[in-house]
Amino acid sequence: MTAPRFSIVTPCLDRAATIGAAIDSVLAQGCPSVEHIIVDGGSTDGTAQVLARYPHLTVIRETDRNLYDAINKGLRAARGEVIGLLNSDDLYAPGAFAAAESCFADPDIEMLLGAAEFFTEQNGRLSVDRILAGNANALTEANVIGGITTMNAAFYRRGLMGRSGLFDDRFPLSADKDFWLRLVLLAPRLAVTGATIIRYRSHAGSLTFAAGDLRDKLSRHNLVTAQTRLSELPAGSAAHAAYRRWHGWAAGYRVLVQLRNGKWGTAWATARAGFAADPLWPARFLGYLPGHWTRRADRGGV
């Protein structure tokens, strides 16, 4: 059987209200050689009935450990030369696949990164909140550490995914940042386009828009991820240095979140644990702050 040109992987759990639009955004690309893999973690809200309306789909339906376990299942099943990751509540922008085809006509290019659009929907009409492009969502260490990783605004050649490895599902809320930093360290042959590739839906249940308790959870998970990687990587390596910088930022940010929530004792415990991993973490955090605020302004405050 001839392998498809594109493989699109969509993890899904109880998204009956939005999964159809996500699928339609793939079909609207008009690409004749694409497989769309849906990894459904056991939806009970009518998602299965929506998926049944699309017989072209490859559906993997089984319980998974978390979002990234589901994505990994889809990646293992994918047969295409070009890989895309589409959330069940988001949309591909018109022309996204055409931009990818143009990019990957160059056999040396391993990855395409485009703009990310954030939108809300009311009465069937899309309202764009902001667009991240250029430095605001570049494949950089700075965007991993203190910014936004728009991994869905990218397409990846299969060989690059083989070099980077799958998502580490030990990190259920931060495996995307870990994946992005591993890509930064690989320095893939990258093409960048100003065209919008992905449209992220803004809603209360989205991990992309963290607030309140979710922000507290994300800061904890980011710190755990940075600490774990720091302990695993050989001292003196470029990867160890990068994760040490991330750890410095994550420790400082976590302390600030806890102080803002009035958890003074917990904040002190976090600071002490940070010193055990890296005695210089406060200096790394403070040194990173000016650039963080500049980049935050570039992102429109997010």
Residue 206 within a domain: no
Q: Which of 115, 107, 106 is nearest to 133 (CA)?
A: 115
Confidence of residue 128 (pLDDT cuts 50, 70, 90): confident
**Structural domain count of the chain:** 2
Question: Which of 159-163, 201-205, 217-221, 264-268 is predicted least confidently?
Answer: 201-205
Please tell me whether residues 287 and 172 are part of one structural domain: no
Assigned domain for 84 exists: yes
Tell me phi and psi for residue 217, to 5 degrees. -65, -45
Out of 171, 201, 231, pick the residue that ends a domain.
201
Residues 64 and 39 in one domain: yes
Rounded mean pLDDT, 239-266: 96
Contact 156, 147 (CB under 8 A): no
Name the band, by pLDDT with cuts 50, 70 and 90, for residue 294: confident
Average pLDDT over residues 153-173: 96
User: Same domain, yes or no, for 154 and 12?
Assistant: yes
Burial class (CB in 10 A: 0-12, 13-18, 19+), 91: buried
Binned at pLDDT 50, 70 and 90, residue 288 comes out as: confident
For the residues 258-286, what does the mean pLDDT come to? 96
In a domain, 264, yes or no: yes
Q: What is the mean pLDDT of the chain?
A: 92
β-bridge mates for residue 207, sequence order: none
Q: Residue 301 has what pLDDT? A: 64
- Residue with the larger pLDDT of the pair 238 and 292: 238
The answer on 163 and 197 residing in a single domain is yes
pLDDT at 168: 97
Paired residues of 61 in beta bridges: 40
Residue 211 is predicted with a pLDDT of: 43
Same domain, 229 and 181: no
Are 266 and 152 in the same domain?
Answer: no
Q: Give the pLDDT band of residue 210 (cuts 50, 70, 90).
A: very low
Given a cut of 80, whether residue 140 has pLDDT beyond it is: yes
Pair 25, 130 in one domain: yes
Residues 17-69: tens digit of each pLDDT: 999 999 999 999 999 999 999 999 999 999 999 999 999 999 999 999 999 99
Are residue 243 and residue 161 in the same domain, yes or no?
Answer: no
Asked if 78 and 171 sit in the same domain, the reply is yes
Query: What is the span of the domain harbouring residue 224?
Result: 213-298
As beta bridge partners, residue 198 has 92, 116
Query: At residue 203, does pLDDT exceed 70?
Result: no
Nearest CA to 291 out of 143, 115, 187, 181 is that of 143
Same domain, 242 and 175: no
Are 180 and 224 in the same domain? no
Give percent of the chain above pLDDT 70.
94
